[in-house]
Amino acid sequence: MSKHLRRHWLGLTGAGVLSMIVVVALLAPLIAPYDPYTQLLDGITADGSPLPPSAQHLLGTDLLGRDLLSRLLYGARTSLIIGLIANGLSITIGTLLGVIAGYLRGLLGAVIMRFTDLMMAFPALLLAIALSALLEPSLWIVALVIAMVNWVSIARVIYTETLSIRERDFVTAARGLGATSPRILVHHILPHLLPTILVWTTLGIATSVLLEATLSYLGIGVRPPVPSWGNIVFENQTYFSSAPWLVFAPGLAIAMLAFSCNLAGDALRDILDPRELGQGR
Amino acid sequence: MLRYALSRIGQTAGLLLGIAAVTFTLLYLVPADPAAQVAGRSATHEQLESVRHEMGLDRSVIVQFGDYLLHLAEGDFGRSYVQRSPVSTLLLSRLPATLILLAGAIFAELVIGLSAGIIAATSRGAAVDRAVMIFAFIGVSTPRFVMGILLLYTFAVELNWFPVGGYGGISHLVLPALTIGVLGGGWYSRMMRSSMVEVLHLDYIRTARAKGAGEWRVVMIHALRNAFLPILAMIGIDMGQFVSGSVVVEAVYGWPGVGQLMWQSIQEIDIPVIMAITLIAAVAIMLSNLAVDMIAPLVDPRIKLK
């Protein structure tokens, strides 16, 4: 066990930071020093520029005189929603389509996989931009757009896995014993897919949060005043040379969240897939 | 080889049609009324009807799609709603800047990624190796706009070594190329490392060592040549992805390429331009995948064709 701990200290650190961000997001109303939407009267200097960090405002205020720390804390909620809803949705869609295509194969499977190939040809960011440009963006629409773009790679992975699992002896045995297809899927195939799904869910948080941040930075994701780490950078970037913390604090938050998810996901992959153990590291 | 090539080209042609179908759907079927966007808000009912007729929106969907394909084949991507000029003209004027950035960025990625990867592979398990792995993770976790603003702030605003964005000489290119290079380099270094580790285990490397070749020569001449093959495929994929990857960087640095055109079109919700760039990016990805598949068996005879 201690050998495991030493091997995966990076992954553990990632999981720790990730849980911290989740706690912060949940407790935001309790720990935020100010309301993230209130433009404070004394939150801006006489000539209209944001306040630097001080005892009252630990990270200073933003261009509209709102407390930056409070906006960051509430921004964690946006990331959490994206990480849960958008990512959960894309994992669900991808798993369903991948399992169906891999288990049933035939015409339906071929159609699903050709469609997957087609979606694969589009770069995720541009497709997300195109979709968001057509829809009136809100937090939920952004989550939906991200799910519509991100399910593709999961579908491919699950499809390949399902193809190999369905040929294994225990599936043949179950079928020989008279198990119905739904039963085989739920009791025999799905449990073997769980490690893969778990790893991709963890890595997927990073992918979806980064995509949300980029869309919001481009002004096409989550719209202000709802705080998102991406749109905080978008709103304040004109001040990046005079008040760099307005840009770097949210930027660091995004990178930290994605970094910890990637570390945790990679360690999970290592732990759950014994075949990869000891290979090349 | 010929059969393989033909079947891959056939698949690609099918995908092309699919890609056009997706952008057509997003362009003409999803928006409530494309004519309203062209005619503007103050248009009367009659004006709207005439615009609709002009755009051919009163015809059946199949005819419209056929028309769309024909225009695409002629290089006609429609007209920008905002700038009123043909999208193809806008794109062509932006292409050179993006190609320059592409060359600079891939150069930076290769220099950073290959050296980090080789160093990691030759010092496996050591602290350097782990540092390179963490660097790779930081690369995939940091949004490009954050790295872009960070480099801009450090090297242009604080240190004053480079201009604060814009377009012109080499000095303008360094920071945007480095932004992509530092982040993408992490990805290259992981690939380089695993490929190098694999090659260094092969018999011919042991032979080279046994014959007394120095470690530098073994790694840089004997091993690198074979370890580089997967990197070649990666460069191809990278080039295909480039249009998409340049949007953010060009927006941060005000680099007047296709990515910046995309960014401006987003702010103005100029749907035809957005769709044209999406279409071109998808085609670029597809063609680069095709090129990689075609070149790989030529470069490496060990690759078996399906």
For chain B, the structural domain boundaries read 2-73, 88-299
CB contact under 8 A, A251 and B282: no
Q: Is B239 on the interface with A (CB under 8 A)?
A: no
CB contact under 8 A, A258 and B142: yes
Burial of A216 (0-12, 13-18, 19+ CB in 10 A): buried
Shortest Cα distance from B286 to chain A (angstroms)? 6
Structure tokens at A35: 């309301």
Q: What is the structure's pLDDT at A201?
A: 92
Shortest Cα distance from A183 to chain B (angstroms)? 35
Q: What is the structure's pLDDT at A280?
A: 38
Which residues are CB-neighbours of A247 under 8 A, at least 6 positions away? A233, A236, A237, A239, A240, B149, B153
- Exposure class string for A61-72: b at 16+ Cβ within 10 A, else e: bbbbbbbbbbbb
Q: What are the φ/ψ torsions at residue A260 (nearest 5 degrees)?
A: -70, -35
Q: What is the ipTM of this complex?
A: 0.85
Calpha distance A195→A269 (Å, rounded) = 8
CB contact under 8 A, B150 and A237: no
Report how far Cα A194 is from the mean position of its chain's Cα atoms.
18
Number of Cβ within a 10 Å radius of residue A9: 12
Which residues are CB-neighbours of A195 under 8 A, at least 6 positions away? A272, A273
Taking contacts as CB-CB distances below 8 angstroms, the residues of chain B near A233 are 145-146, 149
CB contact under 8 A, B141 and A210: yes
CB contact under 8 A, A134 and B31: yes
Please report whether residue A54 resides in a domain.
no
Please report whether residue A48 resides in a domain.
no
CB contact under 8 A, A121 and B251: no
Angle between helices B229-240 and B271-299 (to 10 degrees): 170
Structure tokens at B199: 């090659």
Q: Which of A112, A122, A211 to mutate to test the interface with B (most CBs of B within 10 A)?
A: A122
Number of Cβ within a 10 Å radius of residue B207: 11
Q: What are the φ/ψ torsions at residue A242 (nearest 5 degrees)?
A: -90, -30
CB contact under 8 A, A240 and B149: yes
CB contact under 8 A, A240 and B153: yes
Please report whether residue A218 resides in a domain.
yes
CB contact under 8 A, B281 and A230: no
Shortest Cα distance from B256 to chain A (angstroms)? 16
- 3-state SS, one letter per residue, for chain A: CHHHHHHCHHHHHHHHHHHHHHHHHHHHHHHCCCCCCCCCCCCECCCCCECCCCCCCCCCECCCCCEHHHHHHHHHHHHHHHHHHHHHHHHHHHHHHHHHHHHHCHHHHHHHHHHHHHHHCCCHHHHHHHHHHHCCCCHHHHHHHHHHHHHHHHHHHHHHHHHHHCCCHHHHHHHHCCCCHHHHHHHHHHHHHHHHHHHHHHHHHHHHHHHHHHHHHCCCCCCCCCCCHHHHHHHHHHHCCCCCHHHHHHHHHHHHHHHHHHHHHHHHHHHHCHHHCCCCC
Number of domains in chain A: 1
Q: A128: number of CA atoms within 13 Å, CB side?
A: 32
Q: What is the structure's pLDDT at A5?
A: 67
Residue of chain B with shortest Cα separation from A258: B141
CB contact under 8 A, A258 and B18: no
Give pLDDT tens digits along chain B (306 positions).
Answer: 778 788 888 888 888 888 888 888 887 776 656 666 666 666 777 777 777 777 777 777 788 888 888 888 888 887 887 777 888 888 888 888 899 999 999 999 999 998 998 888 888 877 888 888 888 889 889 999 999 999 988 888 888 887 877 777 787 888 899 999 999 888 889 888 888 888 888 888 888 888 877 778 778 877 887 788 888 888 888 888 888 888 999 988 888 988 888 888 888 878 888 888 888 888 888 888 888 888 777 777 766 654
The verdict on whether omega for the bond into residue A137 sits within 30 degrees of 0, i.e. cis, is: no
DSSP category for residue B77: -
Q: B137: number of CA atoms within 13 Å, CB side?
A: 23
Question: Would you say B113 and B189 are in contact if contact means Cβ atoms under 8 Å apart?
Answer: yes
Range of the domain at A151: 10-28+68-280
Question: Would you say A72 and A227 are in contact if contact means Cβ atoms under 8 Å apart?
Answer: yes
Of B137, B143, B263, the CB nearest to A210: B143
Shortest Cα distance from A214 to chain B (angstroms)? 7
Of B145, B266, B282, the CB nearest to A129: B266
- Look at the domain B88-299 and name its fold: MetI-like fold (1.10.3720)
Taking contacts as CB-CB distances below 8 angstroms, the residues of chain B near A133 are 266, 269, 271, 274
Which of these, A258, A266, A217, lies nearest to A240 by C-alpha position? A217
Structure tokens at A44: 């801006």
Taking contacts as CB-CB distances below 8 angstroms, the residues of chain B near A280 are 194, 197-198
Burial of B166 (0-12, 13-18, 19+ CB in 10 A): middle
Q: Please identify every stretch of chain A with a pLDDT value under 70, giving residue numbers as ranges.
A: 1-6, 274-281
Calpha distance B279→B272 (Å, rounded) = 10
Of B140, B142, B274, the CB nearest to A130: B274
CB contact under 8 A, A129 and B251: no
B56 membership: H or E segment, kind and range: none
Which of these, A64, A87, A3, A75, lies nearest to A32 by C-alpha position? A75
Structure tokens at A51: 């306040």
CB contact under 8 A, A230 and B143: yes
Taking the model in full, what pTM does it have? Answer: 0.87
Which of these, B142, B226, B125, B137, lies nearest to B189 by C-alpha position? B137
Please report whether residue A99 resides in a domain.
yes
Shortest Cα distance from B266 to chain A (angstroms)? 7
CB contact under 8 A, B19 and A213: no
Question: Would you say A234 and A219 are in contact if contact means Cβ atoms under 8 Å apart?
Answer: yes
| CATH number for the domain that contains residue A120 | 1.10.3720.10
B86 SS3 class? strand
